[in-house]
């Protein structure tokens, strides 16, 4: 396959599970595909490299900074929007169905490394965490305005933090003395909640919870998956790379049952009526070689599904 010849190119350095995910799309050279998380364009370039002159690739990214990575190719269209609006934008471009959709969820390497964005616990910066900087809600807004009950919900549900009650109460007490703004100050002020020898993991969970709330990530994923059953034609592929259990669980349930409660419906013959059939029963994870080159791929899980004949 042509794209494998380009793996060494620096463009692909942070494209997680590149070979496995693009192969999972089972690309037809003349097909129409969607990369809903364009980022640096690694997956998109690999897809384009497998299309002929009649193929089309649409890409989405809500981060305006990703526009600088756009690809000059008349087969390619980059849309600066959240992928939860995928169907509307594709329809506006005259596309009613596609042959495959790829989603590489979570935060890009660029976003983690951009100090001013506030995604990483490594930098002392304003607690922002917006993927789309045109939006208004930031992480510091959440910390300074959400009720203790609301804070408890996001830390428990989105960060799976066991002492969410204690953390939420401390944040409410601390902000009465001084509003939260900078990341290092925030980390110091919640230090009494952080378990010894688990500092990095705990803070990563806190930041994950805030980031998910700021960007409404799980709702956006649900909307994408629901639209995929409409937009992917029979025999087409859905490929999803997730980085934490909340994303992976939603994807797994949807592929298996067609809903997010995992309620499996069957026809009179006992056949599963899910709109998708899982291609890989077990999640695909990065090989050791990839882990050695890109430590950020360590939590990646890949699921591949094919649009079934049902509906």
What are 47-96's pLDDT values in tens digits? Answer: 999 999 999 999 999 999 889 999 999 999 999 999 999 999 999 999 99
Task: Answer whether 244's CB lies under 8 Å from 159's CB.
Answer: no
The rounded distance, in Å, linking the Cα atoms of 208 and 154 is: 10
Task: Answer whether 296's CB lies under 8 Å from 109's CB.
Answer: yes
**Would the pLDDT of 119 be above 90?**
no
Question: Which of the 8 DSSP states describes residue 195?
Answer: P
Confidence of residue 311 (pLDDT cuts 50, 70, 90): low
172 Cβ partners below 8 Å, 6+ apart? 147, 148, 151
Task: Answer whether 22's CB lies under 8 Å from 47's CB.
Answer: yes
Alpha helix stretches (DSSP H) within 78-233: 86-92, 109-113, 139-145, 148-157, 164-177, 183-189, 199-215, 217-231
pLDDT of residue 97: 98
CA 22 centroid distance within chain:
16
Q: Give the gyration radius of the chain's Cα atoms.
A: 20
Residue in the block written with tokens 């700021």: 214
104 closest CA partner among 25, 20, 43 = 43
**Chain-wide mean pLDDT for the chain?**
92
The rounded distance, in Å, linking the Cα atoms of 61 and 107 is: 11
Instruction: For the chain, give the percent of residues with pLDDT over 70.
Output: 94
Over range 136-148, report the average pLDDT: 97
Tokens of 176: 């009465």
The rounded distance, in Å, linking the Cα atoms of 176 and 155 is: 20
306 Cβ partners below 8 Å, 6+ apart? 235, 236, 237, 238, 276, 277, 279
Taking only the tens place, the pLDDT of each residue in 164-199 is 999 999 999 999 999 999 999 999 999 999 999 899
Taking only the tens place, the pLDDT of each residue in 25-40 is 999 999 999 999 999 9
Confidence of residue 310 (pLDDT cuts 50, 70, 90): low
Confidence of residue 109 (pLDDT cuts 50, 70, 90): confident
Task: Answer whether 31's CB lies under 8 Å from 48's CB.
Answer: no
Over range 257-263, report the average pLDDT: 95
Task: Answer whether 255's CB lies under 8 Å from 238's CB.
Answer: yes
Using CA atoms, how far residue 216 sits from 130, 134, 173, in Å, is 10, 14, 26
228 closest CA partner among 100, 61, 56 = 100
* Three-class DSSP category at 124: coil
pLDDT of residue 111: 78
- pTM for the model stands at 0.91
Range with lowest mean pLDDT among 99-103, 115-119, 146-150, 305-309: 115-119
């Amino acid at each position: 396959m042509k794209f494998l010849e380009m793996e060494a190119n620096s463009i692909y350095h942070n494209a997680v599970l590149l070979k496995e995910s693009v192969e999972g799309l089972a690309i037809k050279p003349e097909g129409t595909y969607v990369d809903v998380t364009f980022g640096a364009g690694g997956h998109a370039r690999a897809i384009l490299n497998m299309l002929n002159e009649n193929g089309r690739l649409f890409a989405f990214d809500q981060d305006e900074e990703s526009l600088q990575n756009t690809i000059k190719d008349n087969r390619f269209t980059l849309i600066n929007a959240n992928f939860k609006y995928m169907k509307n934008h594709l329809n506006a471009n005259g596309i009613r169905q596609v042959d495959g959709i790829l989603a590489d969820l979570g935060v890009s390497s660029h976003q983690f490394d951009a100090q001013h964005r506030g995604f990483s616990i490594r930098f002392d910066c304003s607690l922002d965490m917006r993927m789309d900087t045109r939006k208004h809600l930031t992480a510091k807004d959440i910390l300074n305005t959400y009720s203790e009950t609301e804070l408890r919900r996001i830390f428990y549900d989105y960060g799976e933090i066991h002492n969410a009650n204690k953390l939420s109460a401390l944040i409410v007490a601390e902000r009465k003395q001084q509003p939260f703004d900078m990341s290092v100050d925030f980390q110091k002020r919640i230090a009494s909640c952080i378990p010894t020898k688990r500092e990095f993991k705990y803070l990563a969970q806190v930041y994950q919870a805030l980031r998910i709330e700021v960007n409404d990530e799980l709702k956006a994923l649900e909307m994408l998956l629901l639209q995929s059953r409409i937009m992917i034609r029979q025999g087409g592929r859905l490929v999803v790379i997730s980085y934490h259990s909340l994303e992976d669980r939603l994807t797994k349930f949807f592929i298996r049952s067609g809903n997010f409660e995992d309620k499996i419906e069957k026809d009179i013959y006992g056949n599963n009526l899910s709109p998708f059939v899982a291609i890989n029963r077990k999640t695909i994870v990065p090989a050791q070689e990839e882990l050695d080159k890109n430590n950020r791929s360590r939590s990646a899980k890949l699921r591949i599904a094919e649009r079934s004949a049902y509906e």
